[in-house]
Amino acid sequence: MKEECLICGAPLEYLETDVQMQCEICRKKELAKTRCVNGHYVCSDCHMQGLDSIVELCLRETACDPIAIVERM
């Protein structure tokens, strides 16, 4: 899995200590150690939002054809 910024595609950097950051998507402020080299931060809730939707769809899906499933996404 490639580790890059969801906002700009830049590499991520891992800080030694927690820093107050604001999520670029939902604007929530929290302490974190990970951001991109351009300073963008995305909180865990926003980062996982798309994955949760995919998992929900797959759990409900009855088709066996992966192409048909992806086309419905």
Return the higher-pLDDT residue of 57 and 11.
11
- From 32, 39, 41, select the one nearest 6 (Cα to Cα): 41
Q: Tens of pLDDT along 12-69?
A: 999 999 999 999 999 999 999 999 999 999 999 998 887 777 778 778 888 888 887 7
Name the residue with tokens 């974190």. 32
Does 2 score more than 70 pLDDT?
no
Distance CA 52, CA 31 (A): 23
Determine contact, residues 46/26, Cβ cutoff 8 Å: yes
Q: DSSP class of residue 28? A: -
The domain segmentation of the chain, as residue ranges, is 12-72
Beta bridge partners of 35: 13
Return the higher-pLDDT residue of 70 and 11.
11
